[in-house]
Amino acid sequence: MTKTKKRYSFVYVILGVMFLLVLWTIAQRAINNDLVIPDIPSVLIALVSLLKQAKTYSLVFKTIGRLVLTICACAGLTLVLSYLSYKLDWFENFIKPLFVLMRTIPVVSLIIFLLFLLGREISPYFITGFVVLPVMYEGALSGFWAIDSAIKDEIKLFSKVNFKVVFFVFIPVTLPYLIAAFIQSFGLGLKVMVMAEFIAQPKGTIGYAMLQDRAYLNMANIFAWTIIMLVIVFLVEILVKTIRKKYI
């Protein structure tokens, strides 16, 4: 991408943000109820207040840590399942109903079931995993199917498929698909993780903090937490894309 295109892209991003702020202002004035949509100055004040508190960073670290741990576990499981599906047609068909179920089951129903089954501390991990795993699986499997036939023939000619081939040939080739799946999974996973925390109420998490703000009708804080999560997802996407461009 040329510098001119980058400059125009940045300008359009700024215009898009300004458009959203205008919509926010219009909606706030139309509803005229701070308990539904607070005004922008109130949210900015709440945001600055949160950023000044050490507790905020502790909550963010704990929730993000939960999410990263879940995504890493799902990534390992994804590589195994997608590789088996790539090599064995019967396994792909066998596991397909499970992923269809995971993609279609309502998240609220899943939260309620796992909350009773696993408790409020552990259930957010599995709830997020159930939502993230199908996304990562589809991305990884697409990557395996995208491997050039010439590479496959060369592998068959010189070596049998083993763990070294998987890690030094298959994974590097499918890495762009895995990174795209990771970016999508991180944003989706953060939303699901916070929602699961909001319902399960494990203490010391963003979801629990938002639950307390709702109890005290502090909508400005809830909007401020939303902005913090949006910024986190945005920064992670930039970081991953930068690494991708530099090293891949």
Q: What is the mean pLDDT of the chain?
A: 82
Note the pLDDT tens digit of each residue in 55-112.
999 999 999 999 989 988 988 888 888 888 888 888 988 998 888 888 888 877 888 8
| DSSP assignments along 6-34, one per residue | HHHHHHHHHHHHHHHHHHHHHHHHHH--T
Residue 44 has pLDDT above 80, yes or no: yes
Question: What residue type is assigned to position 237 of the chain?
Answer: E
Residue 59 vs residue 173, higher pLDDT: 59
Q: Model-level pTM?
A: 0.81
